[in-house]
Structure 1
Amino acid sequence: MSATRSRARNALIVAALTLFIAMVVGVYHLLFERLLHDLRDTEHNALELITSSLRGEIKRFEILGSVLATNRELLQFLRAEPTAESAVHINRKLEEINRSTGALDTYLLDTTGKTIAASNWRKPINFVGENFAYRPYYQLAINGQAGNFFAIGTTSKERGFYVATPVRHGHQPVGVVVIKIRVEHLERLWKEQNRALSLVDANGVIFISTQTNWRLKTLQPLDDQALSSIRETRQYLDAGTLKLLDYTRRDILSPTDTIVEMGSGAGERAVYLQLASAMEEANWTLLLHTRINDVQRIALLGTLAISFGIAGAVIIALAIVYRLRKAKRRLENEQRYRNTLESAIAERTRDLQQTNQELLQTQRKLLQSGRLAAIGRFSAGLSHEISQPLTALHSYISNTQQLISLGRYADAEEKLYNIEHLADRIALIIRQLKIFVRGDELITSPVSVRSAVAEAHTIMQDRIDKADASVEIRFPKGDVHINGDDILLQQLFVNLIANALDATADIETPTVLIGVDAQDEQVTLEVSDNGTGVSESDLPNIFDPFFSTKTMGRGLGLGLTIAQEIVSRFGGEMSASNNASGGARFRVLIPEYRRTTP
């Protein structure tokens, strides 16, 4: 019986270990596939950008070739009998174009494939006189097609892209202009991105690569047809020098994605994710190789972490079984503590609720007190906005009574007219104040600033006389107009003059200066006084509703607020400051009204 139990236990352990190992292997493959998928997405995005950049570089020189092919001087040089003077001129022209574009070489071929002008004509080894009829780019271009080709120069022995464009007279090619593009700077730029990039031709020859030991090697054995084509076009000078790269395909993930193993040339081999981007326009393929060692390492570390986590979970489970009783006692103690804590929290919550109710009651009392204080201030100074015309009205009524008693009825009739005018004004002021309260839309029209100042001065004349104040008005030549409302503009000046008179009430010789100016389609209105000015602490609040430095009963603290609101409705700005010589200054900027001529 004991032996049977032992065998069963051993079988269970073996089954558990087998299941654990299978799980570990499965986790590793899942992590590896996930990480590899993310790597493929990232590298595909990078490869698309690099491919677009390469196409753009080639397209730039194709456009340049098309422009050169339509050059009148090149066409005339091809059609006429070349002279030493014309040859030097064209050579210099190609030399300058080559220098400005950054190309490796730029040269011109005739219908036989002979080079008749070249940018490298000054060099000891140059293309002038060389015949490149064997090059595929020439054969395509002389037949009316654009020709792109990669090769090692038979004269310069330098690698390069060749972009060939036919030069036509009418529809007939009479020559070919060729631009040879440097490839070293592409390798340098790619290498700076820390990426292994290679450009492969249709025969599988790597002709550009950031990996020096991969250049001019093949990914597959070359058949006789490929070797014959390379020899005929002299693409790589000696086809026999092209060696097979140590390269093995391990896993094909998709038509463009492959896992490959490659040798470094020093006996080391590495596994790469190979992504391919086809460039059909030139029958090339751009390859991006990314080592997957990091992916394998991260997948392995992740698998180990999960494995250790599972092993730890098993150990923890065993520990939990052992500590169940101890945990139960601890939970009972915690429950007692929790009950005590909940009772304390409930009691504290009741205290907080009671305190909150008391605060709400206090807040309501404070709000009520604030409302009463605001109503008190409003009641104490309700006549602020109409006190000036009412004072003038009272004066006119008294004068009218005296004139009637003296029998001066004509003068009394004039005073009655003034009384009617002031009564209308009070009604209009009330109407405008109702506009502020209701927020009605303001109907504007061109308003004379000069007339508004004169009306405001007339309204305030009685107060000015009683204050024994001097009012100086400065106007530019002619009149100034703004787009606004005449009553509101008069009220603006009335409020500012009244404010200046209040500020100079304790001054021996009170003076109020009203200035008007118009420049650059902007009207500037200034009202300043020689009073005590505004303290720096009050300046930020000077336009606030109900803000006043006056004693109770001498205004609502709304005069400057209404003035600022009027300016705002006119589309202007208002500011307050102190004069250097003393006193306050209020400046208003309002757009000038200009009559447009049809």
Structure 2
Amino acid sequence: MVRIVPTRWTFSQSRDWLSRRASALFARPRRVMLAVLVVGMPLAAAVAAGLAADNASESLREQGAAQLSLYESNLRTELERHAAVPMVLARDQEVADLLRDPSPERVDRLNRKLEAIAATLKASALYVMNGTGTTVAASNWNAAPSFVGQNFSYRPYFQSAMERGEGHHFALGTTSLVPGYYTAQRVVAENRTEDRTGDRGAGVVVLKVGFQELERAWSHGREKVLVSDRDGVVFITNVEGWRYNALPRRLPVTLPAASPPATEEIPTLPWAFGGASDRITLREGNAERRYLLQSAAVPGGDWTIHALTSLAPVATRAQQAGLLAAAVVALAALTGHALAQRRLNLVERLALQEEARAELERRVAAATAELRATENELTQAAKLAALGQMSAAMAHEINQPLAAIRSFADNAVVLLERGRPDAVRDNLAEIADLTDRMAAITRSLKGFARRASGTLGAVSAAAAVGQALALLEARLRRDSVTVDTDLPASALLVTGEDVRLQQVLVNLIGNAADAMRASPRRHVRIALAAEGEEAVLTVRDSGPGIAEADLPRIFVPFFTTKEAGDGLGLGLSISHGIVEDFGGSLTAANHPEGGALFTIRLKRRDSQT
């Protein structure tokens, strides 16, 4: 059997090298991913949060301005709705009659009238003062304490109304201790002439209203709303604890956040600097919250309305945008790393496959070389076996010339003793011819027995046929085999090697002689012809041919149809391999007229190069 010894396997070493190489390649995308995660995520989060904060702040500022305008409209509507009441009562004849003649009946009737109007308006108080500031009728006439009989001439709203016709003032009631907004309208008596004191009015009608309903309505909003007077004192607000507190002296609030109180009695609102001119920071519970401060003047008065809108939505949107941007960057980094790692995995896999393929090719090449060496050994063994088979015939071929040489030598001695030199010369010439014949036989045997070089070149097919027939001449003559050759007159060169081509022909001709042992007619025909780019060499015998069942296996190693001990079944397999090494083909068939036909096709060559 042919034993194949595998070469040393180095795939594990290559795999280790590729693993180290892949690890070095993987480190690069990992570093890029880490750089993106460490630098890109915070940067993207900061940029996205800043842009989102700017957009959210602008949107919040627009919404706050709209809400502030709505609050200011509510306040103005409330004031205008109550302002008409003192003006109408100032022109009421019943009020003028009372101021001219405050009889008990008129006072009682007007008290009840003012009480009904105040209840309808939900006003704090509605009362009439005479020219000296004393209240002569009031809606709270039957309440304790009542304004009736109280003198409020020191109040700014009374003084302003007497001087200019109307007066407005927000103050804490000295009698009721309830804050309210006072609207006063001067009453002028009809057909009244100016008296000695110069008074132009008979009295003043005053309406005191509170803003509890307005504050209650504002409390449902998200904003903190407050209204301050010309002195910066808050008198309307939806935040308990801010009423009657003074605004910081400088608005917008700037550092330092805490300003000294406007007066010793009025505290300042607990506002702190919120990072910008329109930002306010308030401590609510244990946390500090930032607000957007927006202010607007109330038309027709000395009041200013302020609204504080929470900046929490801005922070929330900025945080969401930052997290989203960071998540997008992280996802992009992870996706890029995954794609890079996938590509590197593909590169590593391809490299491993390439290394495995190269290693496999090296192993195949080594195995092929070993098989070729083994085949050469088998070829050499087959040649030596063929020589062994031809040894008997070769011995006969050599023994005959040797016997003749001995005879001619003995005759030459006798002839020399008889003095016949011419005859001696003739005997010596015969001895020389016989020696040349023996040299030719040994030369053929030596050439056939030498190892092939393995180098392909231009070989004369006809010469190879002649040398093969010379080797087999004695055997063919012994077995009574006749040979007929059909060779071209000009040399036909083919690609091959002379020694191995001789071996193929010796094998085919020898097999033909073996196949015809039992045949009455033993004839071999060898033909050589050119067909296009090929040379076709056929060997046909007159034997029984090849069984159809054996044709597919005829070139299989160790397949033989000979008797046991006559062969190993390697001759045709080796011949087939030699011809394929030459780039040609060897086929077997049965000739239609009988006998086996072996056809060798070889590439033609134009010269000895």
Query: Bigger radius of gyration, 1 or 2?
Result: 2
Q: TM-score range by the shorter chain?
A: 0.3 to 0.5
Q: Normalization by structure 2: what TM-score?
A: 0.45
Q: Normalization by structure 1: what TM-score?
A: 0.46
User: Highest relative contact order (Cα 8 Å, sep 6+), 1 or 2?
Assistant: 2
